[in-house]
Structure 1
Amino acid sequence: MNLDHVFLCGNPALDFAATLRARRSTRFEMFASPDRLDAWYLESGIVDAVTPSREADVEQAVAVREAVYELVTARLAGETYDKTALAVMNNAARRSPVTPQLTPTGRWSDATPEQALSTVARHAVELLSGPDVPLMKECGNPECTRVYIDRSRGMRRQWCGMESCGNRLKAAAYRARRKQVEEPAAH
């Protein structure tokens, strides 16, 4: 599986929740080490620099990620929020967030892992209480568990991304149609 962090979901909290890939099958953990967590914070644009994470920061990030995923999927299903998941996310959001600074060369944000995680949790709070809730969808690929914001015309997007899931499913559907056409001819 690809180790690159992917940002297809349209919101940092959803991209964060998607760092445990293929939840229904092989489950692939993107935060396998503190440096992978730091890489996500940097690549996501949450921070420009982050103090190196420790294993405890990874454990905390995974707990918040799972809480965010649980809350997002509950919201999609129209179910009530799990109290434990709410507490985990809200406790992270209560901490000091990343504070951007203006420098002679532009905006710069230097943070601790706790500040970066708080910022992600705050994105989740804003998402789940904001106007984008009706735009949230789960990817149409049954193996994929990413939830994304569908801003497409007519809200007709079916996959988290064409490269990651759309092309794979379209190719599989094409092969299935070809097989159906070829089988009757073989009789």
Structure 2
Amino acid sequence: MNLDHVFVCGHPALDFAATLRARRTARFEMFVTPERLNAWYLDCGLVDTITPGNEQDVVEARAVREAVYRLVTDRRLGEPFDRQALAVLNGAARKAPVTPQLTLTGRHNEATPGQALATVARKAVDLLSGPDVPLMKECGNPECTRVYIDRSRGMRRQWCGMDSCGNKIKAAAYRARKKAPSAASA
């Protein structure tokens, strides 16, 4: 699997939770180094510059990510929030977030990995307590565990993204349909 960050979930907290891919099968970890974690913060647009991180930043980010995923799953399934996950998320959200600065060239967000993580945690709190909760769906690809915001007409979207999962499923279904008639005639 490639290490490109994918932002198809419609919310930064959901994209953050999706950095552990294929949770039910292969479990592919995106946050393997402090540099990969910082790259995610930069690529998602949360910060413009970020100070170098360390292994502890990765450990904390993974813990918050897993808490976010658990709480999103609880909310999506209509279950009570897991208390330990709540404590982890709220603890991270209490810390100092990214603070935007106005410069001669415009807005600039410079942060530490801890500030970036606090900002993600706050975004997760907003999501889980806001109006988009009923729009959260899990991808229809059985190998994918991304949760996304479905803003499609009639809420009929089935996949986290066409490029990442939709095309794979549609192509597999097409191949299966093409194969079926030849197998039936044999």
Match of residue 147 from structure 2: 147
Write the distance in 1 (CA, Å) between the matches of 2:52 and 2:150.
34
Output aligned runs, 1:35-184, within 5 Å.
Answer: 35-184=35-184
Task: State the AA in 1 paired with 2:158.
Answer: Q
Structure 1 runs, 4 residues or longer, greater than 2 Å off: none
Q: Normalising by the residue count of structure 2, what TM-score does the alignment of the two structures yield?
A: 0.99
1:103-155 deviation per Cα after TM superposition (whole angstroms, max 9, x unaligned): 12111000011100000000000000001001100000000000000111111
Task: State the AA in 1 paired with 2:179.
Answer: K
Displacement of 1:56 in angstroms is: 0.3
Q: Secondary structure at the match of 2:76?
A: helix
Write the distance in 1 (CA, Å) between the matches of 2:41 and 2:53.
10
Write the distance in 1 (CA, Å) between the matches of 2:87 and 2:49.
28
Match of residue 14 from structure 2: 14
Write the distance in 1 (CA, Å) between the matches of 2:78 and 2:35.
36
Q: Let me know the Cα RMSD of the aligned residues.
A: 0.6
Write the distance in 2 (CA, Å) between the matches of 1:26 and 1:69.
17
Displacement of 1:24 in angstroms is: 0.3
Displacement of 1:169 in angstroms is: 0.3
- Identity percentage over the alignment? 74
Write the distance in 2 (CA, Å) between the matches of 1:7 and 1:63.
20
User: How many pairs align?
Assistant: 186
Q: Secondary structure at the match of 2:148?
A: strand
Q: Normalising by the residue count of structure 1, what TM-score does the alignment of the two structures yield?
A: 0.98
Displacement of 1:23 in angstroms is: 0.3
Structure 1, unmatched stretches of 5+, are none
